[in-house]
Structure 1
Amino acid sequence: MILQEHAVQISTPTGLMRCEIFRPKEDGQFPCVIFYSEIFQITAPIQRTARILAGHGFCVVVPEVFHELNPIGTVLAYDEAGKDKGNADKFAKPLEQHDSDTAAMISYLSTQTYCNGSFGAMGVCIGGHLAYRAALNNRIKAAVCLYATDIHSDTLPCNHGNDSFTRTGDIKSSLLMIWGKQDPHVPTAGRQKIYQQLIDKNVDFEWHEVNGQHAFMRDEGDRYDPELALRCYRMAIDHFRNKL
Protein backbone atom coordinates (compact mmCIF):
# COMPACT_ATOMS: atom_id res chain seq x y z
CA MET A 1 0.00 0.00 0.00
CA ILE A 2 1.07 3.59 -0.64
CA LEU A 3 1.44 5.42 2.67
CA GLN A 4 0.82 8.79 4.23
CA GLU A 5 2.64 10.10 7.29
CA HIS A 6 2.07 12.86 9.78
CA ALA A 7 2.94 13.81 13.35
CA VAL A 8 0.58 14.64 16.20
CA GLN A 9 1.00 15.77 19.77
CA ILE A 10 -1.17 13.77 22.16
CA SER A 11 -2.00 15.03 25.63
CA THR A 12 -0.97 12.65 28.43
CA PRO A 13 -1.05 13.04 32.23
CA THR A 14 2.69 13.76 32.09
CA GLY A 15 2.69 16.25 29.22
CA LEU A 16 2.43 16.40 25.45
CA MET A 17 3.74 13.34 23.62
CA ARG A 18 4.74 13.65 19.99
CA CYS A 19 3.81 10.64 17.87
CA GLU A 20 4.47 9.83 14.23
CA ILE A 21 1.64 8.10 12.40
CA PHE A 22 2.12 5.93 9.31
CA ARG A 23 -0.98 4.64 7.56
CA PRO A 24 -2.33 3.63 4.16
CA LYS A 25 -3.11 6.53 1.85
CA GLU A 26 -6.33 5.00 0.61
CA ASP A 27 -9.57 5.70 2.42
CA GLY A 28 -10.75 3.20 4.96
CA GLN A 29 -10.49 2.06 8.54
CA PHE A 30 -7.52 0.01 9.67
CA PRO A 31 -6.29 -1.81 12.78
CA CYS A 32 -3.89 0.35 14.78
CA VAL A 33 -0.52 -0.87 16.03
CA ILE A 34 1.37 1.13 18.65
CA PHE A 35 5.05 0.64 17.87
CA TYR A 36 7.42 1.33 20.74
CA SER A 37 10.98 2.26 19.88
CA GLU A 38 14.32 1.55 21.46
CA ILE A 39 15.82 3.97 23.99
CA PHE A 40 16.92 6.21 21.08
CA GLN A 41 13.32 7.21 20.25
CA ILE A 42 12.08 7.68 16.66
CA THR A 43 15.22 7.01 14.64
CA ALA A 44 15.40 6.33 10.89
CA PRO A 45 15.42 2.51 11.39
CA ILE A 46 12.35 2.79 13.61
CA GLN A 47 10.57 4.83 10.95
CA ARG A 48 11.46 2.27 8.29
CA THR A 49 10.05 -0.55 10.39
CA ALA A 50 6.86 1.45 10.93
CA ARG A 51 6.52 1.93 7.17
CA ILE A 52 6.92 -1.79 6.52
CA LEU A 53 4.13 -2.58 8.96
CA ALA A 54 1.86 0.19 7.73
CA GLY A 55 2.32 -0.91 4.13
CA HIS A 56 0.60 -4.18 5.01
CA GLY A 57 -2.64 -2.46 5.98
CA PHE A 58 -2.12 -1.09 9.47
CA CYS A 59 -2.12 2.33 11.05
CA VAL A 60 1.18 2.42 12.94
CA VAL A 61 1.68 4.97 15.71
CA VAL A 62 5.19 5.58 17.05
CA PRO A 63 5.42 7.59 20.29
CA GLU A 64 8.38 9.44 21.72
CA VAL A 65 8.69 7.07 24.65
CA PHE A 66 10.61 9.51 26.88
CA HIS A 67 8.68 12.66 26.02
CA GLU A 68 8.74 13.84 29.64
CA LEU A 69 12.53 13.84 29.71
CA ASN A 70 13.47 15.43 26.38
CA PRO A 71 12.46 18.33 24.14
CA ILE A 72 9.82 17.40 21.57
CA GLY A 73 11.45 15.86 18.51
CA THR A 74 14.53 14.51 20.30
CA VAL A 75 16.24 11.62 18.52
CA LEU A 76 19.31 10.09 20.14
CA ALA A 77 22.26 8.93 18.08
CA TYR A 78 23.43 5.32 17.97
CA ASP A 79 26.63 6.17 19.82
CA GLU A 80 27.91 6.05 23.39
CA ALA A 81 26.44 9.44 24.29
CA GLY A 82 23.06 8.46 22.88
CA LYS A 83 23.14 5.12 24.65
CA ASP A 84 24.05 6.72 27.97
CA LYS A 85 21.24 9.29 27.68
CA GLY A 86 18.70 6.69 26.58
CA ASN A 87 19.57 4.34 29.41
CA ALA A 88 19.35 7.18 31.90
CA ASP A 89 15.86 7.99 30.58
CA LYS A 90 14.88 4.32 30.76
CA PHE A 91 15.67 4.16 34.45
CA ALA A 92 14.08 7.55 35.19
CA LYS A 93 10.57 7.00 33.79
CA PRO A 94 8.19 4.83 35.86
CA LEU A 95 6.24 2.11 34.11
CA GLU A 96 3.02 3.75 35.29
CA GLN A 97 3.77 6.71 33.00
CA HIS A 98 4.16 4.36 30.05
CA ASP A 99 0.77 2.90 30.98
CA SER A 100 -0.86 6.31 30.85
CA ASP A 101 0.88 7.03 27.52
CA THR A 102 -0.63 3.87 26.06
CA ALA A 103 -4.09 4.77 27.34
CA ALA A 104 -3.75 8.28 25.87
CA MET A 105 -2.82 6.92 22.43
CA ILE A 106 -5.72 4.48 22.43
CA SER A 107 -8.10 7.25 23.48
CA TYR A 108 -6.84 9.56 20.73
CA LEU A 109 -6.84 6.94 17.99
CA SER A 110 -10.33 5.78 18.90
CA THR A 111 -11.63 9.17 17.74
CA GLN A 112 -9.90 9.05 14.35
CA THR A 113 -11.85 8.05 11.26
CA TYR A 114 -9.01 5.85 9.97
CA CYS A 115 -9.01 3.63 13.08
CA ASN A 116 -11.31 0.59 13.13
CA GLY A 117 -11.13 0.26 16.92
CA SER A 118 -8.82 -2.77 16.94
CA PHE A 119 -5.44 -2.28 18.65
CA GLY A 120 -2.13 -4.09 18.82
CA ALA A 121 1.32 -3.28 20.15
CA MET A 122 4.84 -4.02 18.97
CA GLY A 123 8.29 -3.01 20.13
CA VAL A 124 12.01 -3.68 20.06
CA CYS A 125 14.42 -3.70 23.02
CA ILE A 126 12.81 -1.61 25.78
CA GLY A 127 10.01 -1.16 23.25
CA GLY A 128 9.49 -4.92 23.37
CA HIS A 129 9.00 -4.58 27.11
CA LEU A 130 6.58 -1.69 26.55
CA ALA A 131 4.58 -3.78 24.06
CA TYR A 132 4.40 -6.53 26.70
CA ARG A 133 3.35 -3.88 29.18
CA ALA A 134 0.76 -2.46 26.78
CA ALA A 135 -0.85 -5.90 26.67
CA LEU A 136 -2.03 -5.21 30.23
CA ASN A 137 -4.47 -2.75 28.65
CA ASN A 138 -7.64 -4.65 27.75
CA ARG A 139 -7.94 -2.75 24.45
CA ILE A 140 -4.76 -4.39 23.14
CA LYS A 141 -5.66 -7.64 21.37
CA ALA A 142 -2.19 -8.69 20.20
CA ALA A 143 1.40 -7.78 20.97
CA VAL A 144 4.71 -8.56 19.27
CA CYS A 145 7.69 -8.29 21.61
CA LEU A 146 11.17 -8.42 20.10
CA TYR A 147 14.11 -9.08 22.46
CA ALA A 148 12.26 -7.33 25.28
CA THR A 149 14.63 -6.11 27.96
CA ASP A 150 14.16 -5.68 31.73
CA ILE A 151 11.14 -7.95 32.12
CA HIS A 152 13.06 -10.79 33.73
CA SER A 153 15.25 -8.51 35.83
CA ASP A 154 12.60 -6.10 37.17
CA THR A 155 14.97 -3.16 36.68
CA LEU A 156 12.54 -0.48 35.51
CA PRO A 157 11.02 1.85 38.11
CA CYS A 158 7.44 1.21 39.20
CA ASN A 159 5.27 0.89 42.27
CA HIS A 160 5.84 -2.19 44.40
CA GLY A 161 4.24 -5.25 42.81
CA ASN A 162 3.46 -3.42 39.57
CA ASP A 163 6.43 -4.67 37.56
CA SER A 164 5.65 -6.33 34.24
CA PHE A 165 6.90 -9.80 35.22
CA THR A 166 4.71 -9.93 38.32
CA ARG A 167 1.69 -8.70 36.37
CA THR A 168 2.04 -11.22 33.54
CA GLY A 169 -1.14 -12.98 34.63
CA ASP A 170 -3.13 -9.82 33.85
CA ILE A 171 -2.30 -10.07 30.14
CA LYS A 172 -5.39 -11.11 28.18
CA SER A 173 -4.13 -10.47 24.64
CA SER A 174 -2.16 -12.82 22.41
CA LEU A 175 1.64 -12.43 22.55
CA LEU A 176 4.32 -13.18 19.99
CA MET A 177 7.67 -13.31 21.78
CA ILE A 178 10.86 -13.25 19.67
CA TRP A 179 14.36 -13.49 21.13
CA GLY A 180 17.96 -13.60 19.95
CA LYS A 181 19.85 -16.43 21.61
CA GLN A 182 23.08 -14.43 21.42
CA ASP A 183 21.53 -11.40 23.14
CA PRO A 184 23.50 -10.63 26.34
CA HIS A 185 20.75 -8.34 27.64
CA VAL A 186 18.31 -11.24 28.04
CA PRO A 187 20.38 -14.37 28.75
CA THR A 188 19.08 -17.92 28.65
CA ALA A 189 18.07 -17.91 32.31
CA GLY A 190 16.12 -14.69 31.81
CA ARG A 191 14.27 -16.04 28.80
CA GLN A 192 13.46 -19.26 30.62
CA LYS A 193 12.12 -17.27 33.57
CA ILE A 194 9.72 -15.32 31.33
CA TYR A 195 8.67 -18.45 29.43
CA GLN A 196 7.79 -20.27 32.65
CA GLN A 197 5.87 -17.28 33.96
CA LEU A 198 3.79 -17.15 30.77
CA ILE A 199 3.06 -20.87 31.13
CA ASP A 200 2.22 -20.58 34.83
CA LYS A 201 -0.12 -17.64 34.21
CA ASN A 202 -1.89 -19.29 31.25
CA VAL A 203 -1.14 -16.47 28.84
CA ASP A 204 -1.87 -16.98 25.13
CA PHE A 205 1.58 -16.74 23.55
CA GLU A 206 3.86 -17.94 20.78
CA TRP A 207 7.60 -18.20 21.43
CA HIS A 208 10.55 -18.01 19.00
CA GLU A 209 14.27 -18.02 19.69
CA VAL A 210 16.60 -17.31 16.76
CA ASN A 211 20.34 -17.18 16.32
CA GLY A 212 20.61 -13.44 16.53
CA GLN A 213 22.22 -10.74 18.61
CA HIS A 214 20.50 -7.88 20.38
CA ALA A 215 19.02 -5.40 17.87
CA PHE A 216 19.25 -7.83 14.95
CA MET A 217 16.19 -6.07 13.45
CA ARG A 218 17.84 -2.65 13.29
CA ASP A 219 19.03 -1.98 9.75
CA GLU A 220 21.97 0.13 10.90
CA GLY A 221 25.04 -1.29 12.60
CA ASP A 222 26.93 -4.56 12.50
CA ARG A 223 24.31 -6.66 14.34
CA TYR A 224 21.66 -6.34 11.63
CA ASP A 225 20.55 -9.67 10.16
CA PRO A 226 18.36 -9.00 7.10
CA GLU A 227 17.18 -12.59 6.71
CA LEU A 228 16.09 -12.83 10.34
CA ALA A 229 14.45 -9.40 10.08
CA LEU A 230 12.37 -10.47 7.09
CA ARG A 231 11.26 -13.64 8.90
CA CYS A 232 10.25 -11.63 11.96
CA TYR A 233 8.38 -9.04 9.91
CA ARG A 234 6.36 -11.83 8.34
CA MET A 235 5.61 -13.41 11.73
CA ALA A 236 4.54 -10.05 13.14
CA ILE A 237 2.30 -9.20 10.19
CA ASP A 238 0.70 -12.65 10.24
CA HIS A 239 0.13 -12.37 13.99
CA PHE A 240 -1.59 -9.00 13.67
CA ARG A 241 -3.67 -10.08 10.69
CA ASN A 242 -4.82 -13.16 12.59
CA LYS A 243 -5.64 -11.38 15.85
CA LEU A 244 -6.70 -7.88 14.76
Structure 2
Amino acid sequence: MLIQESYKDVPTQHGGDMRIFTFHPQIPNYPKAKFPGVVVFSEIYQVTGPVARFARQIASHGYIVAAPSSYHEFTGPEALAYDGPGTDKGNAWKIEKKVSAYDEDATLSIDLLTSMETCNGRIGKSGATGMCLGGHLAFRCAFDKRVRAAVCYFATDIHSHTLGQGKNDDSLDRVKDISGELVMIFGKKDTHVPPEGRDLIRKTLHDAGVTFSFYEPAWAQHAFIRDELSKGRYDPALAGICFQMLLELFGRTLNGDLGPMAGEVPEPEDVC
Protein backbone atom coordinates (compact mmCIF):
# COMPACT_ATOMS: atom_id res chain seq x y z
CA MET A 1 0.00 0.00 0.00
CA LEU A 2 1.36 3.44 -0.92
CA ILE A 3 1.83 6.08 1.78
CA GLN A 4 1.51 9.86 1.77
CA GLU A 5 3.42 11.70 4.48
CA SER A 6 2.79 15.15 5.90
CA TYR A 7 2.62 16.96 9.21
CA LYS A 8 0.54 19.47 11.09
CA ASP A 9 1.61 21.87 13.84
CA VAL A 10 -1.08 21.87 16.51
CA PRO A 11 -1.28 24.51 19.28
CA THR A 12 -1.21 23.17 22.84
CA GLN A 13 -2.21 24.62 26.18
CA HIS A 14 0.96 23.45 27.89
CA GLY A 15 3.44 25.21 25.64
CA GLY A 16 4.43 25.46 22.01
CA ASP A 17 2.97 23.93 18.89
CA MET A 18 3.15 20.14 18.71
CA ARG A 19 4.16 18.77 15.34
CA ILE A 20 2.17 15.66 14.47
CA PHE A 21 3.64 13.65 11.62
CA THR A 22 1.02 11.76 9.61
CA PHE A 23 1.42 8.67 7.46
CA HIS A 24 -1.62 8.09 5.26
CA PRO A 25 -2.28 4.95 3.18
CA GLN A 26 -3.27 5.43 -0.44
CA ILE A 27 -5.21 2.94 -2.60
CA PRO A 28 -5.47 3.92 -6.27
CA ASN A 29 -9.05 4.11 -7.57
CA TYR A 30 -10.59 4.16 -4.10
CA PRO A 31 -11.01 7.88 -3.41
CA LYS A 32 -13.67 7.26 -0.75
CA ALA A 33 -11.60 4.77 1.23
CA LYS A 34 -11.66 5.23 4.99
CA PHE A 35 -9.06 3.84 7.35
CA PRO A 36 -8.71 3.37 11.11
CA GLY A 37 -6.48 5.82 12.94
CA VAL A 38 -3.49 4.84 15.08
CA VAL A 39 -1.36 7.09 17.27
CA VAL A 40 2.32 6.11 17.41
CA PHE A 41 4.14 7.50 20.42
CA SER A 42 7.91 7.78 20.18
CA GLU A 43 10.66 6.97 22.60
CA ILE A 44 12.56 9.75 24.42
CA TYR A 45 14.26 10.77 21.17
CA GLN A 46 11.08 12.06 19.48
CA VAL A 47 10.17 10.89 15.95
CA THR A 48 13.43 9.35 14.82
CA GLY A 49 14.15 7.31 11.72
CA PRO A 50 13.25 4.01 13.45
CA VAL A 51 9.98 5.49 14.74
CA ALA A 52 9.08 6.86 11.31
CA ARG A 53 9.82 3.50 9.69
CA PHE A 54 7.66 1.77 12.32
CA ALA A 55 4.85 4.24 11.53
CA ARG A 56 5.22 3.57 7.80
CA GLN A 57 4.98 -0.16 8.39
CA ILE A 58 1.70 0.29 10.23
CA ALA A 59 0.33 2.72 7.64
CA SER A 60 1.18 0.30 4.83
CA HIS A 61 -1.34 -2.14 6.31
CA GLY A 62 -4.19 0.35 6.02
CA TYR A 63 -4.02 2.66 9.04
CA ILE A 64 -3.71 6.44 9.19
CA VAL A 65 -0.86 7.01 11.61
CA ALA A 66 -0.29 10.14 13.69
CA ALA A 67 3.09 10.43 15.39
CA PRO A 68 3.35 13.40 17.79
CA SER A 69 6.59 15.09 18.83
CA SER A 70 6.51 14.95 22.60
CA TYR A 71 8.91 17.69 23.66
CA HIS A 72 7.34 20.78 22.06
CA GLU A 73 7.55 22.61 25.40
CA PHE A 74 11.35 22.44 25.30
CA THR A 75 12.52 22.16 21.69
CA GLY A 76 11.49 21.85 18.06
CA PRO A 77 10.13 18.73 16.36
CA GLU A 78 13.55 17.48 15.29
CA ALA A 79 14.62 14.07 16.54
CA LEU A 80 17.29 13.74 19.20
CA ALA A 81 20.40 11.72 18.42
CA TYR A 82 20.93 8.23 19.79
CA ASP A 83 23.99 9.37 21.71
CA GLY A 84 24.92 10.57 25.19
CA PRO A 85 23.73 14.18 24.84
CA GLY A 86 20.52 13.10 23.09
CA THR A 87 19.78 10.53 25.77
CA ASP A 88 20.45 13.04 28.55
CA LYS A 89 18.09 15.60 27.01
CA GLY A 90 15.35 13.06 26.42
CA ASN A 91 15.54 11.68 29.95
CA ALA A 92 15.58 15.17 31.49
CA TRP A 93 12.59 16.42 29.50
CA LYS A 94 10.69 13.19 30.19
CA ILE A 95 10.40 14.16 33.86
CA GLU A 96 10.14 17.92 33.33
CA LYS A 97 7.00 17.60 31.22
CA LYS A 98 3.71 17.41 33.13
CA VAL A 99 1.66 14.22 32.92
CA SER A 100 -1.35 16.38 32.03
CA ALA A 101 0.66 17.68 29.05
CA TYR A 102 1.34 14.14 27.85
CA ASP A 103 -2.39 13.45 28.10
CA GLU A 104 -3.20 16.61 26.16
CA ASP A 105 -0.83 15.48 23.40
CA ALA A 106 -2.65 12.15 23.19
CA THR A 107 -6.06 13.81 23.04
CA LEU A 108 -4.95 16.24 20.33
CA SER A 109 -3.45 13.40 18.29
CA ILE A 110 -6.69 11.42 18.40
CA ASP A 111 -8.62 14.62 17.65
CA LEU A 112 -6.51 15.15 14.53
CA LEU A 113 -7.20 11.62 13.33
CA THR A 114 -10.93 11.83 14.01
CA SER A 115 -11.14 15.15 12.16
CA MET A 116 -10.05 13.51 8.91
CA GLU A 117 -12.79 12.58 6.45
CA THR A 118 -10.73 9.54 5.47
CA CYS A 119 -10.54 8.20 9.03
CA ASN A 120 -13.22 5.80 10.17
CA GLY A 121 -12.06 6.59 13.72
CA ARG A 122 -14.60 9.41 13.42
CA ILE A 123 -17.06 6.88 14.83
CA GLY A 124 -14.88 6.00 17.77
CA LYS A 125 -12.38 3.38 16.62
CA SER A 126 -8.75 4.32 17.10
CA GLY A 127 -5.63 2.50 18.21
CA ALA A 128 -2.37 3.43 19.91
CA THR A 129 1.12 2.03 20.12
CA GLY A 130 4.57 3.16 21.13
CA MET A 131 7.95 2.13 22.45
CA CYS A 132 9.78 2.93 25.70
CA LEU A 133 8.35 6.29 26.85
CA GLY A 134 5.92 5.88 23.96
CA GLY A 135 4.78 2.53 25.33
CA HIS A 136 3.74 4.26 28.54
CA LEU A 137 2.04 7.02 26.57
CA ALA A 138 0.14 4.44 24.50
CA PHE A 139 -0.95 2.85 27.79
CA ARG A 140 -2.28 6.20 29.01
CA CYS A 141 -3.82 6.92 25.62
CA ALA A 142 -6.00 3.85 26.20
CA PHE A 143 -7.76 5.79 28.98
CA ASP A 144 -9.51 7.62 26.11
CA LYS A 145 -12.70 5.72 25.29
CA ARG A 146 -12.10 6.25 21.58
CA VAL A 147 -9.11 3.89 21.76
CA ARG A 148 -10.18 0.31 21.07
CA ALA A 149 -6.69 -1.23 21.16
CA ALA A 150 -3.17 -0.40 22.29
CA VAL A 151 0.15 -2.20 21.85
CA CYS A 152 2.72 -1.10 24.40
CA TYR A 153 6.34 -2.00 23.68
CA PHE A 154 8.63 -2.12 26.75
CA ALA A 155 6.71 0.70 28.46
CA THR A 156 8.90 2.46 31.01
CA ASP A 157 7.95 4.06 34.34
CA ILE A 158 4.52 2.44 34.66
CA HIS A 159 5.64 0.08 37.42
CA SER A 160 7.49 2.81 39.33
CA HIS A 161 4.97 5.68 38.93
CA THR A 162 7.84 7.94 37.78
CA LEU A 163 6.62 9.58 34.57
CA GLY A 164 6.48 13.35 34.29
CA GLN A 165 7.04 16.32 36.55
CA GLY A 166 7.23 15.23 40.18
CA LYS A 167 7.79 11.59 39.08
CA ASN A 168 4.40 10.60 40.48
CA ASP A 169 2.12 9.44 37.66
CA ASP A 170 -1.20 7.67 38.24
CA SER A 171 -1.09 5.23 35.33
CA LEU A 172 -1.53 2.02 37.34
CA ASP A 173 -4.18 3.67 39.49
CA ARG A 174 -6.30 4.33 36.38
CA VAL A 175 -6.25 0.94 34.67
CA LYS A 176 -10.01 0.56 35.16
CA ASP A 177 -10.39 3.48 32.73
CA ILE A 178 -9.12 1.18 29.95
CA SER A 179 -12.05 -0.18 27.97
CA GLY A 180 -10.13 -1.41 24.93
CA GLU A 181 -7.74 -4.35 24.58
CA LEU A 182 -4.01 -4.18 25.37
CA VAL A 183 -0.93 -6.05 24.28
CA MET A 184 2.00 -5.53 26.67
CA ILE A 185 5.44 -6.53 25.36
CA PHE A 186 8.64 -6.60 27.43
CA GLY A 187 11.96 -8.33 26.87
CA LYS A 188 12.98 -10.58 29.75
CA LYS A 189 16.44 -9.00 29.59
CA ASP A 190 14.98 -5.47 29.89
CA THR A 191 16.81 -3.74 32.74
CA HIS A 192 14.53 -0.68 32.55
CA VAL A 193 11.50 -2.68 33.72
CA PRO A 194 12.67 -5.45 36.08
CA PRO A 195 10.79 -8.73 36.60
CA GLU A 196 9.00 -7.48 39.70
CA GLY A 197 7.88 -4.40 37.76
CA ARG A 198 6.47 -6.52 34.96
CA ASP A 199 4.73 -8.74 37.49
CA LEU A 200 3.15 -5.68 39.11
CA ILE A 201 1.81 -4.40 35.79
CA ARG A 202 0.44 -7.81 34.83
CA LYS A 203 -1.25 -8.36 38.21
CA THR A 204 -2.76 -4.88 38.27
CA LEU A 205 -4.27 -5.35 34.82
CA HIS A 206 -5.53 -8.80 35.73
CA ASP A 207 -7.10 -7.67 39.00
CA ALA A 208 -8.82 -4.76 37.22
CA GLY A 209 -10.38 -7.08 34.64
CA VAL A 210 -8.64 -5.44 31.67
CA THR A 211 -8.55 -7.50 28.46
CA PHE A 212 -4.86 -7.91 27.72
CA SER A 213 -2.07 -10.14 26.41
CA PHE A 214 1.40 -10.14 27.96
CA TYR A 215 4.47 -11.27 26.02
CA GLU A 216 8.05 -11.55 27.31
CA PRO A 217 10.59 -12.82 24.72
CA ALA A 218 13.28 -14.71 26.60
CA TRP A 219 16.39 -13.00 25.19
CA ALA A 220 15.11 -9.57 24.24
CA GLN A 221 16.62 -6.43 25.73
CA HIS A 222 15.10 -2.98 26.07
CA ALA A 223 14.31 -1.33 22.71
CA PHE A 224 14.74 -4.59 20.78
CA ILE A 225 12.42 -3.41 17.96
CA ARG A 226 14.47 -0.26 17.24
CA ASP A 227 16.10 -0.91 13.86
CA GLU A 228 19.17 1.14 14.70
CA LEU A 229 22.34 -0.69 15.68
CA SER A 230 24.29 1.78 17.84
CA LYS A 231 23.27 0.03 21.07
CA GLY A 232 23.31 -3.53 19.76
CA ARG A 233 19.79 -4.53 20.84
CA TYR A 234 17.82 -4.80 17.61
CA ASP A 235 16.34 -8.26 17.03
CA PRO A 236 14.60 -8.30 13.62
CA ALA A 237 13.05 -11.75 14.08
CA LEU A 238 11.42 -10.91 17.40
CA ALA A 239 10.43 -7.46 16.15
CA GLY A 240 8.64 -9.14 13.25
CA ILE A 241 6.78 -11.55 15.54
CA CYS A 242 5.65 -8.68 17.76
CA PHE A 243 4.54 -6.68 14.74
CA GLN A 244 2.30 -9.56 13.73
CA MET A 245 0.74 -9.38 17.20
CA LEU A 246 0.06 -5.69 16.59
CA LEU A 247 -1.52 -6.43 13.21
CA GLU A 248 -3.68 -9.18 14.69
CA LEU A 249 -5.01 -6.91 17.43
CA PHE A 250 -5.60 -3.89 15.21
CA GLY A 251 -7.07 -6.02 12.43
CA ARG A 252 -9.56 -7.59 14.82
CA THR A 253 -10.61 -4.45 16.71
CA LEU A 254 -10.36 -1.65 14.10
CA ASN A 255 -12.13 -1.68 10.76
CA GLY A 256 -11.49 -0.04 7.39
CA ASP A 257 -13.90 0.83 4.59
CA LEU A 258 -12.69 0.99 0.98
CA GLY A 259 -15.90 2.42 -0.44
CA PRO A 260 -16.71 1.96 -4.17
CA MET A 261 -14.00 1.55 -6.78
CA ALA A 262 -13.71 4.51 -9.16
CA GLY A 263 -12.00 4.96 -12.53
CA GLU A 264 -9.62 2.76 -14.48
CA VAL A 265 -6.51 1.15 -13.05
CA PRO A 266 -3.62 3.30 -14.32
CA GLU A 267 -0.69 1.88 -16.28
CA PRO A 268 2.51 1.55 -14.22
CA GLU A 269 5.09 4.28 -14.72
CA ASP A 270 8.11 3.31 -16.79
CA VAL A 271 10.63 4.89 -14.42
CA CYS A 272 13.17 3.69 -11.90
- Scaled to the shorter chain, the TM-score interval is over 0.9
1:167 aligns with 2:161: no
Q: More strand by proportion, 1 or 2?
A: 1
Larger mean Cα displacement after TM superposition, 179-188 or 111-120: 111-120
Gaps of 5+ in 1: none
* CA displacement, residues 9-31 of structure 1 (integer Å, 9 cap, x when unaligned): 12222231101111112231100
Quote the residue 1:8 is aligned against: 8
Quote the residue 2:237 is aligned against: 227
Quote the residue 2:61 is aligned against: 56
Q: Cα 1:171–1:160, aligned 2, differ >3 Å: closer, same or farther?
A: farther
Question: Is 1:136–1:171's contact at 8 Å kept on the other side of the alignment?
Answer: yes
Quote the residue 1:77 is aligned against: 81
TM-score of the aligned structures, taking structure 2 as reference length: 0.86
Partners of 2:131 and 2:116 in 1: how far apart? 26
RMSD: 1.4
Quote the residue 2:108 is aligned against: 104
Question: Is 1:151–1:164's contact at 8 Å kept on the other side of the alignment?
Answer: yes
TM-score of the aligned structures, taking structure 1 as reference length: 0.96
Question: Is 1:11–1:104's contact at 8 Å kept on the other side of the alignment?
Answer: no
Indicate the SS of the match to 2:250.
helix
How far did residue 76 of structure 1 move?
0.4
Quote the residue 1:19 is aligned against: 20
Question: Is 1:214–1:223's contact at 8 Å kept on the other side of the alignment?
Answer: yes
Question: Is 1:24–1:55's contact at 8 Å kept on the other side of the alignment?
Answer: yes
Gaps of 5+ in 2: 255-272
Q: Cα 1:218–1:162, aligned 2, differ >3 Å: closer, same or farther?
A: closer
Question: Is 2:37–2:114's contact at 8 Å kept on the other side of the alignment?
Answer: no
Q: Cα 1:91–1:160, aligned 2, differ >3 Å: closer, same or farther?
A: closer
Partners of 2:190 and 2:250 in 1: how far apart? 25
**Counterpart residue identity of residue 39, structure 1:** I
Match of 1:203 among 206, 210, 217: 210
Question: Is 2:47–2:79's contact at 8 Å kept on the other side of the alignment?
Answer: yes
Partners of 1:63 and 1:160 in 2: how far apart? 22
Quote the residue 2:45 is aligned against: 40
Question: Is 2:43–2:132's contact at 8 Å kept on the other side of the alignment?
Answer: yes
**Counterpart residue identity of residue 224, structure 1:** Y
The percentage of aligned residue pairs carrying the same residue is 45
Partners of 2:193 and 2:86 in 1: how far apart? 21
Quote the residue 2:117 is aligned against: 113
Q: Structure 1 stretches (4+) deviating beyond 2 angstroms? A: 157-162
How far did residue 159 of structure 1 move?
8.2
Partners of 2:5 and 2:221 in 1: how far apart? 31
Indicate the SS of the match to 2:18.
strand
Question: Is 1:3–1:25's contact at 8 Å kept on the other side of the alignment?
Answer: yes
Indicate the SS of the match to 2:110.
helix
Partners of 2:89 and 2:168 in 1: how far apart? 27
Quote the residue 2:150 is aligned against: 143
Structure whose CA Rg is larger: 2
How far did residue 103 of structure 1 move?
1.2
